[in-house]
Structure 1
Amino acid sequence: MVKYLLLIFGLVSFPLFGQISQTLKGSVVDSESQYPLIGAKLTLISSDSSIIMRNMTDLDGLYNFQEVPIGKYELIASYNSYLNSYTTVTVNSGRESIVNIKLNEDVVTTEEVNIIGRKVGQVNNEMATISARQFSVEETNRYAGSRGDPARMASNFAGVQGADDSRNDIVVRGNSPIGILWKVEGIDLPNPNHFATSGSTGGPVAILNNKILANSDFFISAFPADYGNSISAVFDLRLRNGNTDKHEFTGQFGFLGTEVLAEGPINRDKRSSYLVMGRYSTLSIFQSMNIRIGTDAVPAYGDGAFKLSFPLKKGGHIGIFGIGGASDIAIKISDQKEISEEAFGEGDRDQYFGTAMGVLGLSYKKPVSRNTFFKATIAQSYDQQKSRHDFLERSIDTSIVGGEEQYEIRTDSIYQLMGYKFKTYKTALYASINHKINNRNLIRAGINVDGYYIVNNDSVLDVTKSFFETRHDYEGFSTLIQPFVQYKWKINERMDFTAGVHSQYFSLSDSWSYAEPRLGWQWRLQNGQQFSAGAGLHSQMQPTYQYTYQQVNTEGEMRRLNEDMDFTKSFHSAVGYQKNFKSNLTLKSEVYYQHLYNIPVNTYASSFSLINQGSGFQRFFPDELVNEGTGTNYGVEVSVQKYFNKSFFFLATGSLFESKYKGSDGIERNTDFNGNYAVNFLAGKEFKINDRNMISAGFKVTAAGGRRYGYVDIAKTEINSELVFKDSLFNTRQFKDYFRLDLKVTYVLNTEKLTHEIGLDLVNILNTENILALSYAPNLADPTQDPIAQRYQLGFLPIFYYKVDFSFSKGPRGGSSR
């Protein structure tokens, strides 16, 4: 394959000779006040450790390296009384490289003290002390099997499970994916995934695209007081700005979607810019061209995003941003004439499902002074889920062909079984202010206010098939209010202490969490070692549709069963150790303990608990619930990471854990997510053919404990036409362990104006059969068999893409390189 790629692109590049160069630029600001640092020094070092160029920031804290030869470099930023920053940079011909740098102020300014400052992997939020990971777009984009999905990329971190090929649910330390909080520019996002089931936080295909993201933060425990309404993890996303000097374009065609991205200056003198991108399902394009792709149930989806950036004087900034997407799929069993097992959906019905989400926001950032920074965001979001199930009455025609018995399925009748449409309109406001009292003390205070307008409608055919039962019929407004204050004390040049308080109130259930304390501590030693600890109390509201679920009581009155559910709460604690070696090698280890309580469970004795919900494509319809359930998560995690800096990277992560819970029957059981262990090993290397051509190869191995399940109650399953498990034996069984090997190969060619990239992501290259779940599947040929089938995860899946980057209209701005 490589031979043919070289031949094709060799023809493109044959007439081009000479060294190819590109621009490297960005900004340098104070990490806490966001104030631009004037006269900061930038040094660009090549892979052989020789100094290539030097630069300084201008009056707006901007730097600009012109005519940098394509390749990889280390960028060092320094400023008087600040700690140095070290960043690995890749320069290609098709796009300018933009690197924005935040420097931490040194608490000791004497020249005798030599402290290494901000290094690769450090998170943006300076209040974080433990259980925080930097989500580096350049680093994670190299991970095999990630499909360009930020959630799947994050599943490679220690403590995060990603052993589900059908969805990108993030299971952190045994917690339900419901506990994940997605944020962008300070406000909470609706589920940013296509085909997102109500109340979930994941899906099969991400709406978010890493091409629009800047380096972001991922917190998996004891996060600072800035973050609330989450008991598991927080994905705090940052959107990058467009190029202020050049118009740049990216086109990509691949298995998962056809994408177009454009960015560039709106006004070069004022450094305003635009960034806009869109994607549409390639599978849908194939279907519209009558190209068969192996299944009639073709998912159709499209998404887009944009950001308009308007810099102000003295480091201020106004941003307008938007993210959105829509998806639809029809799984029509009625069209099938042969007996088969569907990978998605049940075998007795046609299913139609669609989702949509969108957010439009305005952000304002302003360094009020050298010590004070103000940030505010206001946004309007919308999300919708709709579905309809048509039940099939089917039979089998038998015939003799060539002496052999042949079967053909006949659909006798079709009638609607259920249908629902959930819509949520949300207005969100976020505001915070950072004030650096001095170089040792920092305080941050702010508030999140979310206003929900909810419209939920849902009905289902009764088991007698004589009337429709209304499960949701609600329209109303509610608010979620979350104030917080966070303090950081730099005790000395090597030790930090943080303390904060978060509070939240939800009006629909009249739930209060008055004070949630958060504490953190970090101690950095001279030999690259670091100790850290953190603890905090966290709470989260339940999925909104659970508050609107209704039933007719014994007196014939319609009543919403769970409108008064309280917050689920969780106490987090963790202790960590880190050792930084040379050559960007880091060892991290953490031990954690989490106590969950106030979890909704049944009023009568049963195994049910909301702690097990949130993954898969099914909604759940519990009886009346009370906040009396508990849970416990504890374990140990280790990761060894060699960050990509020259031509090689690897990441090895492992975790051993227990995840238990108690329902209203008081019996301790395994949660759905208690796989007991998870191991990932990723590695990749670049091979430089010449100054313009490069091949990258990488692989990923994942092994994890199987999902928990129980024994099926056959009698109740046949009555309800869906799987019903025996309550007393819930989660007493476990599927076999999960294993997957992925391989990724990319070829990059830089020409004078273009960067071409061809990639092939080979998912599950060994075609390992991993069990996904059990499902209801009555056997029409032999009705006496149990109506149970094992559903398997993805087999071998080759995912290809071709991407091209190019730019034009170079601007004259920026300082000189020397």
Structure 2
Amino acid sequence: MNFHKICFCFGILLFSANTRAQEIRGTVRDADTGGPLDGVSISIGKTPDIDHLAITTDAAGQFFTDALPPGTYLCFFTREGYEPLLIPEVRIASGKETVLEVALRAASTELPNVTIKATPADRRALQALGEIPLTREQTQRFPATFFDPARLALAYPGVANTDDQANGLSVRGNSPASLHWRLEGLDIVNPNHLPNAGTLGDRPTTSSGGVLLFSAQLLDNSSLITGAFPAGYGEALGGIMDIGWRQGNNSRHEFTAQAGLLGLDIAAEGPLSKKQGHAYLANYRYSTVGLLGEMGVSFGGETISFQDFSLKLDFAGKNGGHWSVFGVGGISKNTFEPDRDSTAVEVFKDLLDIDYKSKTGIFGASHWAPIGQKTSYKIAAAVSAQSNDRDSRFWADGTHFEQDEMNEEKWSGSVLATHQFNAKNRLQAGAMINRQFFKTDATYQFQAQERIDRSYWTYQPWLSYSWSSSNSKTQVQAGLHSLIFPLQNRTSIEPRLLLTQILNERHRLSFAAVKYSQIASLWIREQPDLTEAWQLSLRHSWNAAEVWSFRSALYWQRIDKAAVSSDGRDAFSMLNVSEGPLTAPSFAYTGLGENKGLELTAERYLSGGWFLLVNTSIFDSRYQGSDGVWRASRWDLSHIANLTAGKEWQRDQWPERLRAFGFNGRITWAGGQRAAPVDEAASAAAQATVYDLSNGYTEQLPDFLRLDLRVYWRRNIGKLRNSIFAMDFQNVSIRKNVAYRYYDAYTGKVETKEQLGLVPNLSWRLEF
């Protein structure tokens, strides 16, 4: 796309904005039935100890006020017969209407405040114990997230990044390949550009990538479910990234534009019909690197580009129901062309031209509606697909070195029904049906290395019953999930139990015991089978004040039937694999795994101009191969510690102008990943890296340490618009963290690949 055309369109959007007041509005519904709640008292203030603005919902459950200046607020929701709710970090800005969709859960008696993020009533099947809430506001505030909720999750306990170049997540010692993605409640393919980023062999993964496929402008509050799954989740061992898209504004047209070193990002939203409440939300991104490349700018022989377009349409239905249609399409490519001077060759990669292309598309629809006063249902379906092509050849004579193709497609459908008997008893039932297609073709120096072409169905019916005592201080959530896998004629019956005891107005104690399973890696040549796991979790929550929260958690995970080598007694296990292709010719499902750990968290929500999030994880991750020996897994980092904090200084000159300056920082310290030693003799003979897995991952890389900073300047210009100029710096100390070691066929020795150095990102964001 022509650069000047983009700038011209942006200018038209900028000067078409009209003067507006600062408004916050929304709807409060019953969390189980979705019915609107009238008479809900809402208190809004910047800190808990100052005078708050008080408003009340009307007969339609709606609320509205335009009496607040820009800033970050706490919102308290209370109604007789329901659990009180606190939503922290609600941002109000000039030229941007703040819209909240709030769900309150029925209770038979008055309870202490429950602190959550605002989520529509139909978003989640059930409440999870191991849930890390991830908000759109946090992706824009935390340093070096690059507006990616997966990278935001790294600030929380138990989550480790496997490489700086990608958003791959190792959750509680599990492989990043065991994490699955959901969009709008449906299973999807890997929703990332450049799925080969940060991998050992420059080949794509099925669970991560360099850049999220869609913009943070679209995000509703999302979550990383870390393992204590409620009955509505399954087919994952290491977590589920549950992403939701927000509804567009159904009362006025609004625009957001962002320009930075990552690229151009333009979003528009507004009503399709104000009378009927229909709305649209659209977003387009084009990477700046691609634009500069078209203008002739060189980046050391490597060119990276991506672009995507996303759209969501929401239609109001009868009796408070609604329909949604959503879709996203994106393409990305990475081209490596080294210096043609043979004297400039330093490593084997410098001998090659490498072209990598990826295409991803997702399209889906959903419908939610109430049935009477106590029942609601939701149906949804989506189709998603991704294709990856990689070609490397010697630039001297054009001879092909490696060629890879990987294509994945997934059809997903779900149904959910909720019935509330009374404030103490509710029942939920649902099912997920998936059709998986996977095809790969890899060659190495004209020799076939990996060819897989398979498809299969999975069925996941589930049922959950929730009960609370007469005083609502004892709560039980008992359910059953099943994963049916016809390809292998296998069925996994998976009980789920969550117990919560409210000790007093500040303390809660929760216990979860769950079983779940996952189909083994798609890269297995043979037909894959199920790997199963049990997890026990104990969690204590202490809400010391409205903005302070302290949490501690203990967990133990036992993995059974992991895929291991069947042709000999060795240390190989699929629990350590994150990418393909695989070298083991055949597999047996007799391996074991174990993860256990302690997580401690202290969090202060943004209030009074500052916030704090500090946590630590101490854990042990082990596995057992076909030789029956317990060893440290590849993801056994032993410890992770995070400190994220920020301070904002504000100058009040409202309504003419309001300015704020902020400084946020994050430091991460983690143990190094485990690594298998490189077999130099075998590598020299193969002219490729061969790892010695006979004794497992006996080496440990040096500890990982990284400091990230974000400095920003926010301006609210009257009631017309607001802008943010920000500078993000990933790895500001320029520490040389080790990514992995490999054998280089050109140098003839083992080389060390380092993580990214200093990564700056300057951005300017305008909302109007």
Whether these two folds match at TM > 0.5 is yes
How far apart in 1 are the matches of 2:265 and 2:337? 29
How far apart in 2 are the matches of 1:133 and 1:253? 29
- Match of residue 683, structure 1, among 645, 656, 663: 645
1:367 pairs with 2:367: no
Cα displacement string for residues 150-192 of structure 1 (whole angstroms, at most 9, x for unaligned residues): 1100111111112621211111110001111211122102111
Tell me how far 1:21 sits from its aligned partner: 4.1
How far apart in 2 are the matches of 1:163 and 1:645? 33
State the SS of the aligned residue for 1:298: strand
- Match of residue 499, structure 1, among 475, 478, 481: 478
Conserved in 1, the CA contact under 8 Å of 2:609 and 2:648?
A: yes
Q: Tell me what 2:322 maps to.
A: 317
How far apart in 2 are the matches of 1:665 and 1:376? 47
Q: Tell me what 1:97 maps to.
A: 98
Q: Tell me what 2:334 maps to.
A: 329
State the SS of the aligned residue for 1:520: strand
Q: Tell me what 2:8 maps to.
A: none
User: What is the correspondence of 1:59-70 to structure 2 with a 5 Å cutoff?
Assistant: 59-70=59-70
How far apart in 2 are the matches of 1:48 and 1:382? 47
How high is the TM-score relative to the length of structure 1? 0.86
What's the Cα RMSD here?
2.2
How far apart in 1 are the matches of 2:638 and 2:52? 49
Aligned amino acid, residue 331 of structure 2 = A
Cα displacement string for residues 293-344 of structure 1 (whole angstroms, at most 9, x for unaligned residues): x4221111112221101112332010001123221112234635454657xx
1:448 pairs with 2:420: no
State the SS of the aligned residue for 1:570: strand
Cα displacement string for residues 111-154 of structure 1 (whole angstroms, at most 9, x for unaligned residues): xxx42233245887484352222222223432112111111001
Tell me how far 1:496 sits from its aligned partner: 0.8
Q: Tell me what 1:204 maps to.
A: 210
Alignment CA distance shift 1:93-1:653 (3 Å): same
Q: Tell me what 1:57 maps to.
A: 57
How far apart in 1 are the matches of 2:600 and 2:591? 30
1:523 pairs with 2:501: yes
- Match of residue 605, structure 1, among 538, 544, 569: 569
Q: Tell me what 1:632 maps to.
A: 594
Q: Tell me what 1:407 maps to.
A: none
Cα displacement string for residues 433-457 of structure 1 (whole angstroms, at most 9, x for unaligned residues): 0111211111111111112344443
Q: Tell me what 1:13 maps to.
A: none
Conserved in 1, the CA contact under 8 Å of 2:46 and 2:608?
A: no
1:715 pairs with 2:654: no
Cα displacement string for residues 671-696 of structure 1 (whole angstroms, at most 9, x for unaligned residues): 11111000000000111023310011
State the SS of the aligned residue for 1:154: helix
How far apart in 1 are the matches of 2:729 and 2:681? 42
Cα displacement string for residues 580-632 of structure 1 (whole angstroms, at most 9, x for unaligned residues): 111411111111111111111111122211101116xx543321111111111
Q: Tell me what 1:118 maps to.
A: 114
Moved more, 231-240 or 266-275: 231-240
Q: Tell me what 1:272 maps to.
A: 278
1:349 pairs with 2:352: yes
Moved more, 178-187 or 38-47: 38-47
- Match of residue 235, structure 1, among 226, 241, 255: 241
State the SS of the aligned residue for 2:702: coil
1:43 pairs with 2:43: yes
Q: Tell me what 1:380 maps to.
A: 383
Q: Tell me what 1:699 maps to.
A: 665
| Percent of matched pairs sharing the same residue | 26
Alignment CA distance shift 1:347-1:613 (3 Å): farther
Moved more, 126-135 or 139-148: 126-135
Tell me how far 1:514 sits from its aligned partner: 3.3
Conserved in 2, the CA contact under 8 Å of 1:107 and 1:440?
A: yes
1:580 pairs with 2:553: no
- Match of residue 415, structure 1, among 381, 399, 404: 399
Tell me how far 1:379 sits from its aligned partner: 1.2
How far apart in 1 are the matches of 2:452 and 2:242? 34
Aligned amino acid, residue 398 of structure 2 = I
Q: Tell me what 1:390 maps to.
A: 393
Conserved in 2, the CA contact under 8 Å of 1:650 and 1:682?
A: yes
How far apart in 1 are the matches of 2:114 and 2:608? 19
Q: Tell me what 1:488 maps to.
A: 466
Q: Tell me what 2:12 maps to.
A: none
State the SS of the aligned residue for 1:153: helix
How far apart in 1 are the matches of 2:641 and 2:311? 36
Aligned amino acid, residue 703 of structure 1 = W
Number of matched residues? 732
Aligned amino acid, residue 610 of structure 1 = M
Tell me how far 1:418 sits from its aligned partner: 2.9
Alignment CA distance shift 1:747-1:582 (3 Å): same
How far apart in 1 are the matches of 2:619 and 2:632? 11
Cα displacement string for residues 750-789 of structure 1 (whole angstroms, at most 9, x for unaligned residues): 1131111101001111111101111232345xxxxx4321
State the SS of the aligned residue for 1:717: helix
Q: Tell me what 1:433 maps to.
A: 417
How far apart in 2 are the matches of 1:703 and 1:290? 39
Alignment CA distance shift 1:120-1:346 (3 Å): same
Moved more, 427-436 or 133-142: 133-142
Conserved in 2, the CA contact under 8 Å of 1:129 and 1:521?
A: no
Conserved in 1, the CA contact under 8 Å of 2:21 and 2:95?
A: no
Q: Tell me what 2:22 maps to.
A: 22
Alignment CA distance shift 1:341-1:441 (3 Å): farther
Conserved in 1, the CA contact under 8 Å of 2:564 and 2:590?
A: yes
1:589 pairs with 2:552: yes
Cα displacement string for residues 551-592 of structure 1 (whole angstroms, at most 9, x for unaligned residues): xxxxxxxxxxx12x3111111111111111114111111111
Cα displacement string for residues 794-818 of structure 1 (whole angstroms, at most 9, x for unaligned residues): 1112111011111xxxxxxxxxxxx
Tell me how far 1:74 sits from its aligned partner: 2.5
Q: Tell me what 2:294 maps to.
A: 288
How far apart in 1 are the matches of 2:345 and 2:715? 45
Aligned amino acid, residue 362 of structure 1 = A
1:787 pairs with 2:749: yes
Conserved in 2, the CA contact under 8 Å of 1:424 and 1:453?
A: yes
Q: Tell me what 2:11 maps to.
A: none
Conserved in 2, the CA contact under 8 Å of 1:222 and 1:572?
A: yes
How far apart in 1 are the matches of 2:502 and 2:48? 29
User: What is the correspondence of 1:129-208 to structure 2 with a 5 Å cutoff?
Assistant: 130-162=129-161, 164-197=163-196, 198-208=204-214
How far apart in 2 are the matches of 1:279 and 1:416? 33
State the SS of the aligned residue for 2:141: coil
Q: Tell me what 1:816 maps to.
A: none
Conserved in 1, the CA contact under 8 Å of 2:645 and 2:665?
A: yes
Tell me how far 1:662 sits from its aligned partner: 1.2
Q: Tell me what 1:731 maps to.
A: 697
Aligned amino acid, residue 777 of structure 1 = D
Segments of structure 2 that go 5 or more residues without pairing to the other structure are: 1-18, 197-203
Aligned amino acid, residue 412 of structure 2 = A
How far apart in 2 are the matches of 1:739 and 1:427? 40
Aligned amino acid, residue 424 of structure 1 = E
How far apart in 2 are the matches of 1:673 and 1:340? 34
Q: Tell me what 1:554 maps to.
A: none
Tell me how far 1:728 sits from its aligned partner: 2.4
Alignment CA distance shift 1:635-1:44 (3 Å): closer
Q: Tell me what 2:4 maps to.
A: none
Q: Tell me what 2:451 maps to.
A: 472
How far apart in 2 are the matches of 1:237 and 1:497? 26
Conserved in 2, the CA contact under 8 Å of 1:241 and 1:307?
A: yes
Conserved in 1, the CA contact under 8 Å of 2:622 and 2:631?
A: yes
